[in-house]
Structure 1
Amino acid sequence: MRWEEAITALGGASGAWPRLEARYGEPHRRYHTLDHAAAVVRDSAWLAGGLGATERAEVAVAAWTHDVVYDAKPGEDERVSAEWAREALQEAKVGEAHIERVEGLVLATIKHDAPADDLLATALLDADLAVLGAPEKQYAAYARGVREEYAKYPDDVWREGRIAVLERLLSRPLYRSEAARTRWATTAEKNLTGELTHWRRARDDHR
């Protein structure tokens, strides 16, 4: 769902798209670009296909804005993105209930957690992790892009941090919905395990 279409479905009229597009076009981004946001919009729309038009619009706005602020500062980025979404929706004259819902969805991406019965959050969170279940070359491009976005960290610091992230991802179910599990889970586990093996070997090589 296009940005303007989603805003209209929520009763607003927004001119925020150019600002959003500019944010995602910042030169330090390698993976968290407008292409990523558009992919999350697409996949969350598929996962939320059975919901009502208003709910699908809320998911779409959350998907467009969930990484609108990205400075490789986990937690802080999501909170500032939620603030950006709130300001854009207020400017668009969207109702407070919709604003709160979108804000909450963006904030749910901090820990990638929400109540089990929250179908909107399920659609957004599963879509945000769809890349983990992408074909091998696409996954490798994602992993390189994220490393480049964290270029300020030396290799040893990055390696240990990445190992921790991969171990955490592999320690729990990746996807909340059956549809996402069926589509992405097997490949995601393979991709994550392969990358984890790579970084563990790199650690051993440096000991």
Structure 2
Amino acid sequence: MLTDIFLQLVNKYSKDHELATNLWLEIFTKYSEPKKHYHTIDHLEAIISDLQEVKDKIVDWDTVLFAVFYHDIIYKASISTNEGDSAKLAMQRLAVIGYPAEKAAKCANMILATKSHELSDDNDTNYLIDADLAVLGKTPYEYQKYTEQIREEYSVYPDFMYNSGRKKALSHFLQMDSVYKTKYFSKKYEAAARINTSNELDEMK
């Protein structure tokens, strides 16, 4: 499914099918790296699945899709520049296919927004960051699986360091007026997200 979505998306802007295939192979390879346990192809599929439900509310669907595909293409637990590096790579790849510069810049800004997940003036961005955090409001089983995968990605850190950082992240979400910025995602996931994150935080104390 993802392969077709990406290739059809690129082919709207470039007729170089070999280029489109190579760009997809790069994405697939990056999201399949051994050290990635959560930020994988499955994560992309989940985001797009959630966003399909609000496609009619999204103004620039193509740019949102490109932001999904590239937002975690560079993700290393040991660095703090993942979003910036991913946004830079996205700009480079979008330039190659002749994507409009203004839209490419919007895509980069969307990717950067997935770092802090703060309310944006751009509602397309709000839908993207909400879908990126949808896992927080999934079933307890899915949430547990997510926390285990995140811990594996950060296995380079001992428990005391990981727990400290994780507590900060969870507290950050809980201190927000709303974890989700759009009505759709707030209604669908907000209550469960607060329960899941609160429970995880309690277990770490």
TM-score, normalization: structure 1?
Answer: 0.89
1:137 positional shift: 0.7
Alignment counterpart, residue 108 of structure 1, candidates 83, 100, 113: 113
1:75 positional shift: 4.0
Corresponding residue for residue 145 of structure 2:
141
The one-letter code sitting in structure 1 at the alignment partner of 2:169 is V
| Percent sequence identity over aligned pairs | 28
1:62 aligns with 2:64: no
The one-letter code sitting in structure 2 at the alignment partner of 1:154 is P
Corresponding residue for residue 28 of structure 2:
21
1:180 positional shift: 0.4
1:41 positional shift: 2.0
TM-aligned CA distance change 1:83 to 1:73, over 3 Å = farther
Q: Distance in 2 between matches of 1:153 and 1:84?
A: 27
TM-aligned CA distance change 1:192 to 1:175, over 3 Å = same
The one-letter code sitting in structure 2 at the alignment partner of 1:120 is D
Q: Distance in 2 between matches of 1:8 and 1:36?
A: 23
Q: Which runs of 4+ in 1 moved over 3 A?
A: none
In the TM superposition, 1:6-85 aligns within 5 A as 6-9=9-12, 11-13=13-15, 14-15=20-21, 16-52=23-59, 55-73=60-78, 75-85=80-90
The one-letter code sitting in structure 2 at the alignment partner of 1:63 is V
Q: Distance in 1 between matches of 2:171 and 2:79?
A: 17
Secondary structure in 2 aligned to 1:44?
A: helix
TM-aligned CA distance change 1:49 to 1:80, over 3 Å = same
Corresponding residue for residue 4 of structure 1:
7
1:7 positional shift: 2.5
Q: CA RMSD in A?
A: 1.6
Which structure 2 segments of 5+ residues have no match? Answer: none
Q: Distance in 1 between matches of 2:138 and 2:147?
A: 11
The one-letter code sitting in structure 2 at the alignment partner of 1:81 is S
Contact preservation (8 Å) 1:45, 1:56: no
Corresponding residue for residue 199 of structure 1:
204
In the TM superposition, 1:117-156 aligns within 5 A as 118-156=122-160
Q: Distance in 2 between matches of 1:102 and 1:46?
A: 20
Q: Distance in 2 between matches of 1:33 and 1:165?
A: 20
1:3 positional shift: 1.2
Corresponding residue for residue 205 of structure 1:
none
Which structure 1 segments of 5+ residues have no match? Answer: 201-207
Q: Distance in 2 between matches of 1:47 and 1:74?
A: 33
Corresponding residue for residue 189 of structure 1:
194
1:165 aligns with 2:166: no
Q: Distance in 2 between matches of 1:167 and 1:114?
A: 17
Contact preservation (8 Å) 2:67, 2:110: yes
